[in-house]
Structure formats: structure tokens, C-alpha cells
Amino acid sequence: MAMKGFRYQRFSHLLRWELHSHKRHYLGLSGGVTLAFLLVQICMFKGKTDVAENVLCVEVAGIMWLVAGLFFTVVLSHVFYPLDTKNHRINYLMLPASNAEKLLVRALVYPLCAAVLCAVALLLADGLRMLLFASAARHYGPVFPYVVGLMAEGAGEILDIAMSPREGGIHGVWIASLIVSYFTFNFSCYLLGSAFFRRHTFLKTSVSLIAFMVAIGFLMDLILWLSGMQSERVSASDALMIYLTDTLVPLFVVLFTLLTVFNVWAGCRHFTRIQIISRKLLQLKK
């Protein structure tokens, strides 16, 4: 009999099973991102003796954020990896828990655990790098505080944009909303790809996302051309900025928000309706 609803006791048992059964996967994630952080720091700090610590550490922190962003997209593209094969689907779907509890563990707890592992990996990479360069002529401190500082600075800039007054164009809150909705949409695409693609989910989702963004670019050029903005009197960049400040930003905020909601809904719906044997194989057997 299928279990329904949500019970904390079942959820806690499922969570413990998740952490215990997939501990090698979590160790692999933490080891991989630690190695990536360490290699980047070694390349950036090696031979640097005449650069101020705050300048170099801020540069390294920016690259750390790029690595962390790439790591998180890879994590999201593997949210539903226990369903990639028939045996894995049997083992996971037969667990004594409801679909809501399984979905919560995979779609929420798994990314949160990965984020914690990423922070721990950065601290570990900091310690290993300082240990390796202990005898160097110039000693640089940890990068972790600068990574946190960049995060706070980025959040502050988005807040400043949102609070900026209206000056001849749209209000800054639309620009801030566009930034947030765009990144949220990107992350939701990898969640959706994890639910629908069985293998090479990160690669397939990335290619699909790039194709979608190229199509959006062509659509913007078509809108500008049809509206007569791309004329000899107005350059393409000026026309684009005019349109962005007038109508396109609110439209894209709504578009990215709706697409994000759809991606999350479609991924969750596909997960709750997953079959052990695909419908194509069932149709072939008839």
C-alpha cells in the first residue's frame, strides 16, 4: 500500500538512510570540490609575493564563487540520480516513505547538505594551501572570509539596485528582480534536467539551457527589428537599452519566474509519477 502525507518519523528515518547509504557520494562531492578549490588557490598564490593580501584574496574569492556555482549546478543536476537505472528506481521507490518525504529529501536536503560540504571544503582547502605555503616568502591568510564578504557585498548591491529611485526608466526593483529570477531559473533548469535525463544530466541540461538562451537572444533581436528600433539613427546597443528600460525587463522577470515555477512543478510531478519500467518498454511488450 502506497504511503501518503508527511510524517516526521518516516522523514527522519529516510534522511538517516540517505546520509548513510550515499555517504560515498557525499564524500566524493566534498573531495572533488576540495581538490578544485585547492588547485585554484595553489595556481593563484604560487609565486605571488608583491601583491597586497586584500587584493589577491578578493580575486581568488571571486574564482571560488565561480567554482562553487559550477559545483552547485552539478549537484542540482544529480538531485534525482537514485532513479537513473531500473535497480536504483526499485530500491528507492520501495522505501517505506511517501513521495512527498522522498521528494523533500532529494530536492531540499540534498542541495543543503551539498552547500554545507562546499563551505567545509573551502575551509579545508584554505588550511591545506596555507600548510603547503607555510615556508613561502610571503604568507597569505584564508580566503573564506573574503568569499563571505563577496556574498554580502553582492547581496548589498542587489538591495541597493532594488531601492534605487526611478530615473527616466523602470524602477531598480525590476532590475534586481531580473537578476534573482534569472539565476533562480538557471538553477531550476538543472533540477528539471535531473528529473528527466537519465545520464549525462549536467551536460544535456547545459546544452539545452544554452540553446534556450540563444533562442531568447534571437527573439530580442526580432522584437527590436519589428519595432523599428534597429535603424541607422539608433545603434543596436542603444535600442536594446531603450527597450530594456521600458518593457523587456518586467516581461523577462515574469517569464523567468513562470518558467522557474514550471520547472520545479514539472520536475516534482515527474518524480512522483516515475515508473520502474518506462512506458516505451511496456508498449513494446504488449
Residue 284: what pLDDT? 38
Residue 141: what pLDDT? 82
Out of 101-105, 111-115, 164-168, 233-237, pick the least confident: 233-237
Among 40-54, 155-169, 171-185, 210-224, top mean pLDDT goes to 171-185
Res. 103 pLDDT band, cuts 50 70 90 = confident
Rounded CA separation 263/186 (Å): 10
Per-residue pLDDT averaged across 202-212, rounded? 91
Distances (CA, A) of 121 to 29, 65, 140: 9, 13, 18
Residue 185: what pLDDT? 93
**What is the amino acid identity at position 37?**
F
How confident is the prediction for the chain on average, in pLDDT? 79
Rounded CA separation 133/282 (Å): 60
pTM of this structure: 0.75
pLDDT at residue 213 greater than cutoff 80 = yes
Res. 240 pLDDT band, cuts 50 70 90 = low
Res. 285 pLDDT band, cuts 50 70 90 = very low
Res. 280 pLDDT band, cuts 50 70 90 = very low
Rounded CA separation 98/94 (Å): 10
Closest CA to 187 of 36, 22, 77, 34: 77
DSSP string, 13-52: HHHHHHHHHTHHHHHHHHHHHHHHHHHHHHHHHTT--SS-
Higher pLDDT among residues 207 and 199, named by residue: 207
Neighbours of 157 (CB within 10 A): 12
Per-residue pLDDT averaged across 64-70, rounded? 91
pLDDT digits (tens, 9 = 90+) for 141-200: 888 999 999 889 888 888 887 777 655 556 678 888 888 999 999 999 998 888 888 778
